[in-house]
Structure 1
Amino acid sequence: MRKTAYSREFLEEIQSERLKQIITLAKKDVPFYRKRLANLSRFEHFPLVTRDLLRGEPTEHFVADHFDPKRCVKSSTSGTSGKVITVLNDSSRFVSSIASLMRRLDRVGLSFGFRLAEIARTDAAVLPSWDEKFNFLTGMSRLFRLNLSTSEMEESLTSLHYFDPEVLWGYTSNLIRLGTLVEEYHISLRPKVVYPFGEKLTENARRFLGRVFSAPVHDAYGLMEAGLVAWQCENLSYHLDEERVLVELVQPDQPSQRGERQVVLTTLTNKVMPFLRYATGDYAIESKSSCDCGMKLRTVKVQGRTRELFFDQDDKPLEWDRLEHYLNSLDVYTWQVIQPENGHVHINLASDDVNTAQVEQEVRNLLINMKKIIISRSPIEELQTVVGKMPVVLGKGDQISDDLCSCLQYR
């Protein structure tokens, strides 16, 4: 991966070869694609696979015939945007994932044997089981798991201090909670890098985490269905993980003036359950210039799903960029925007002290054609779901849990 990152020609050669192999496998061995692609030869003519289509088919229709599902590692989506999707993975996917992680760590001067602290709200592992097994067999990392729900927080934080982690890893909201506890208990942590994952990283969260841990905060974008898709280098550019996934940016039905395109993925290393031209529902803008870090991997600006989530009372899309820019300017840990129905917006601010009345007036000036705007201040842990994850944006089509929307006053 070091070689492919710096040679565009070699990278495209590897990607092309893996794409041919995965197409051949899918047409021959995967029931769903065997029927769907029987008379199609050109990749760009393959129909898109949407999440709704994926949810409507039995999992076994996407699994290659020659693999025993019982011998594969299963993972599942969170179900925020609908029915949970189960994904089966083989060793080739997790080996490529480990190689990708080591490339990221190499950028900050780390290698095998690095000390990693996993921050969670449970004693259960958040790291995938195959990652832990690989760590044990190779000594890739030394692991410390901190449970934010423990009744012995001071002792746990002291142990974390003496472990002296080089990498902090966890959901963004859990890392924020750790940061507030570190300040409360006057614990010193000096990691070499902070790796948030699983949630949108707001600029507020990046500022706070960078300040409290005195370390660079490098975000990543991925999906359970495909693994890591893009990750930030030291210049905070999102580089696509092109050896592992082919990313197409497809023009939406209603073109965006800013150049937003839908992210369509083809996985290149999972030979158990490959995804060909999978429409993620996320949007991104491709960078026109190369990154100064020297890598030849394509770069994008990930927009997520906000383009399709928020509307005013006349069903017109909100000016999301202006709202996001304003929220990112606030002195809060992070924020959350929920829209149960068009014309209604509830904004939760994770903060110890913020003038919600002033924020509400500013938001009303930005979002004029709205029926109702509610601004609330909440501790970060109250914005998390039962699994400890905090969705930053939730639209009316998402599965909004009762613990998140009980305060919305719309019922």
Structure 2
Amino acid sequence: MTSETTTTSPEALRSAMVARIRTIGHAYRHEVEQVLLTTERQAFLPHAELDEAHDPHQAVVTHRFDDGRPRALASAPWLVAAMLDQLDVHPGMRVLEIGAGTGYNACLLAQLTGSPDLVTTIDIDADVTAQASRALEATGYGGVHVITGDGALGYSDHAPYDRIIVTVSPWDIPTAWRTQLAPGGRLVAPVRWRGQSRSAALTNRGDRLVSDSLYLCGFVYLVGEDEGELAAPITEDERVTLHWDRDQPVEPAALRGGLDQPRLTTWSGTTLAANESHDGLWLRLTTTDARVCRLKVQPEVPREVCDPVPGWWRMALAEGNTLVYLTVRRVQDGDEVRGELGAIGHGPAAAELTEYLCQQIRDWAPSRAQDTPTLTIYPADTPDCALAGPAIDKPHSRFVLTYDDPSTTPAQS
């Protein structure tokens, strides 16, 4: 909704924004649709152009670090709607928001609960909470509790909470969130593992948190948390970097310069239509394969150096001094142009790993439309015998992903 926008009033822009969000399947809860339609989003983004503020797919940076990196932003409206759908707030519920942002989300939550006093939002950045407070006061929602503090600690003064929503990306689920969430309560958080981030809607089942939906997303990281993701350049010009989890046996020094070695390309025979996503493949492989990580490739890197699938984050497998990543090529299928997925490998085990990745693509393809696992998050001290499957271990938690149909779960590497 930029140069093609012909309407100029905020009301018309909001209506168009919500209509577009609805067409992609979000704001399906009537209450969520209504608060998006009636809340003046531009009041929380005074420095943004109206079209920018109401673009359903665009996040707006509101604060930056000295080096220019975003330190706070307003999430894209489609993602706001998706997470509020996941949260399932009802009148009278007590809600904690981790990450105050502009105050816009807290305003929506105040309307969904029926009272600003039921909403607490916390952020570690005093500039962020000050701006959120001003915007909430100006829009008539000054009763929201805006707290400056470490969101990883939650806010025990108003606990227990029926709902907790996290609008920054945590590496782990801190113990405080678990203990401050009421039994049967829901927590929605954009958690990260194996190089990708998903907004997970989790229900408190006492000894574990269990998801019922996962959405691909991206957020500013939770400040003050012990970071579990590592990164290192693997080219001399540092324009291609590898990102992996702290618990993975990745040796970046062994991979540096690997893209200069001969390339082996293998094709899977699996094709996708222009509007089909391959994100489920990445998610599926994280269930059992500890080699899954991601590449970040700068736009100016020539395709003859690195030629992954389009996007900012690209799935890869790292094993010793061998690197394999997902690629795609255009193929003609009758009158339709499709994309065939494949694998490019560098290193001594490239033949084995490229064929492995292509076989995983073939195994994933038949069920890709319904290919969403359940994420179960257990406390860190849970023994292996009590887990539903192989764990991804974090400081406070053990993440386990399972599929309803065992035949869709890849073999453990």
TM-score, scaled relative to structure 2: 0.32
Higher relative contact order (CA 8 A, sep 6+): 1
* Higher-strand-fraction structure: 2
* Higher-helix-fraction structure: 1
TM-score, scaled relative to structure 1: 0.32
